[in-house]
Amino acid sequence: MKYITKYKSTNYNSRKNSKINLIIIHYTALKNTMDAISHLCSKEKKVSSHYLISQSGIVYYLVDDKYRAWHAGKAFWQDIVDINSVSIGIELDYNPDGKNNKFSFKMISSLKKLIFKLKKKYKISKKNILAHSDIAPFRKKDPGKYFPWKALYSSKLITNIEQTKNGDVKIIENWFHNHNIFSKKKIIILALSLIGYDTRQVYKKPKLYSELLKAYKSRYIYYKNMSKNKEVYIIIMRHLANFLLTK
């Protein structure tokens, strides 16, 4: 796979021997590719990503994988708070309010090839291909509800939680009930915590619960037009069962 390497960001530091095990997908929310390059390579902005993919599918290699790019910000996943040290950041030239407001075929095709290469090189699990909104659900919404996750799981790059058997879901649900946890809200919070989401303040700040669900829906549920709590609950239970019972 060919990259454009003429643009380099100086916004990075050492991973300090941390193992790469996450890929984080972002969108730029900027006008075009050149604006994104300028932003990601600006010393003053103090942000960066390893890769940037244009609408035409060109991949720009801005920070070497071996370095810690500054793309995640304040984030959390599976008790990890320094996401930058263990992840690779991929920015997409997409702005929901701009002319570049489509995830083009060429862009997604290049993204799939890049993810395949990175997964193979660093032995990254399908479970660890994440949205920026997964690791920062109370701050970020990219890559947004229109990002074609289905294209990634159709290419077997990420886990398809819909393949979970109903019997497996029942096993997980019975575990909660056997531990005297019957409230669907409490089960949802615990399930999302086990999957990896940041639920540390959700009990103390009820408003965060709706924000957490909104982030989850944008990733897993938007295309089904599901909004009822019961339907969301079922999807999350399938997700947890898949997470616990597969590698």
Active-site residue set: 91
Rounded to 10 degrees, the C-alpha dihedral 213/154/107/68 comes to: 60
Within a 10 A sphere around the Cβ of 219, how many other Cβ atoms?
A: 18
Can you tell me the distance from the alpha carbon of 236 to that of 190, in angstroms, rounded to the nearest whole number?
Answer: 10
Per-residue three-class SS string for the chain: CCCECCCCCCCEEECCCCCCCEEEEEECCCCCHHHHHHHHCCCCCCCCCCEEECCCCCEEECCCCCEEECCCCCCCECCECCHHHHEEEEEECCCCCCCCCCCCHHHHHHHHHHHHHHHHHHCCCHHHEEEHHHHCCCCCCCCCCCCCHHHHHHCCCCCCHHHCCHHHHHHHHHHHHHCCCCCHHHHHHHHHHHHCCCCCCCCCCCHHHHHHHHHHHHHHCHHHCCCCHHHHHHHHHHHHHHHHHCC
In this structure, are residues 114 and 120 in contact, taking their beta carbons and an 8 Å threshold? no
Query: Taking Cα atoms as reference points, which of 190, 222, 91, 71 lies closest to residue 135?
Result: 71
